[in-house]
Amino acid sequence: MDAQLEGLKYDANGMIPAIVQDHATGEVLMMAWMNRESLAKTAETGKTHFYSRSRGKLWLKGETSGHVQTVKSIATDCDKDTLLIKVEQAGAACHDGYYSCFYREYQPKSDWKVVGRKVFEPEKVYR
Amino acid sequence: MDAQLEGLKYDANGMIPAIVQDHATGEVLMMAWMNRESLAKTAETGKTHFYSRSRGKLWLKGETSGHVQTVKSIATDCDKDTLLIKVEQAGAACHDGYYSCFYREYQPKSDWKVVGRKVFEPEKVYR
């Protein structure tokens, strides 16, 4: 693996959080975890790959839905323990059908309000 | 604590990651961790508070530098396990003096390149 990427700070489980942002609009799309292998694969292929801690496996974002993310840049923070990846998003980032996973906003003394824009119907994409 | 905020998914250590974004420019400024107490304090006061896992204490962002973040909105994602907080940033988010903590960009076959804009000299702010 590239020394730059090896030099990042992975947590005790070998993971680093990756924030994914739309390179054109600046919308934050999602946050997911990468291990060294998924990050190396992301850098090599130009498509985001993550590591699912619940399923214990590497996944290509969009492998089922076709909603892949094409990498425009990879940045890290002052502590080198978080990534910010700017992408071009095909379709939508969220499996609930919204363009961004952050589609719910806090409303004091009320309940989470859906503010995101819905792009597709999940039941038509995931069978 | 507010039922909305209590209903989020905190990890085994009672933590949830919070992405902080500039509400005006869309720049992602930082990622830090909150526990229930720091999130409740953030919602109540309108200033971001985090929990330092290394120092084991709650902190007000900007308590030393004056570079506080005024909350404009709090969103959560489809899994309710990550927060996206839009803020108005006073000064700069990064203690290294850059406006955003994500000031270094990956350069294939080279090294991290500083691409962020420097706003202040850390040695003049932190004595």
pLDDT digits (tens, 9 = 90+) for A33-42: 999 999 999 9
ipTM: 0.96
Least confident of A33-37, A52-56, A81-85, A96-100: A52-56
The confidence score (pLDDT) of residue B127 equals 67
Decide if A96 and B112 are in contact by the 8 Å CB cutoff. no
Q: Going by DSSP bridges, is the β-strand pair A15-22/A83-89 parallel, antiparallel, or unpaired? A: parallel
Buried b (16+ CB within 10 A) or exposed e, B23-41: beeebbbbbbbbbbebbbb
Residue A9: CB atoms within 10 A of its CB come to: 11
Is 90 exceeded by the pLDDT of residue A31?
yes
> Rounded to whole angstroms, how far apart are CA atoms A116 and A102?
7
> Rounded to whole angstroms, how far apart are CA atoms B16 and A92?
24
The confidence score (pLDDT) of residue B76 equals 98
Residue B1 neighbours by CB under 8 Å, 6+ apart: B36, B40
Sort out which chain A residues have CB atoms less than 8 A from B104's CB and list them. 75-77, 80
Which chain B residues have any C-beta within 8 angstroms of a chain A C-beta? 2-5, 17, 19, 21, 25-28, 30-31, 43, 73-80, 82, 84, 94-96, 98, 101-112, 115
User: How many angstroms separate the CA of residue A62 from the nearest CA in chain B?
Assistant: 16
Of B16, B23, B25, B31, which to mutate for an interface test with A (greatest number of A Cβ within 10 Å)? B31
The confidence score (pLDDT) of residue B37 equals 96
Mapped onto helix, strand or coil, the DSSP state of residue B124 is helix
Residue B53: CB atoms within 10 A of its CB come to: 12
Buried b (16+ CB within 10 A) or exposed e, A67-87: bbbebeebbbbbeeebbbbbb
pLDDT digits (tens, 9 = 90+) for B98-109: 999 999 999 999
Decide if A26 and B27 are in contact by the 8 Å CB cutoff. yes
Decide if A111 and B4 are in contact by the 8 Å CB cutoff. yes
Phi-psi region of A4 (alpha: psi -120 to 50; beta: other; left: phi over 0): alpha
Residue spans of beta strands (DSSP E) within A23-63: 28-35, 49-52, 57-60
Of A9, A106, A107, A112, which to mutate for an interface test with B (greatest number of B Cβ within 10 Å)? A106
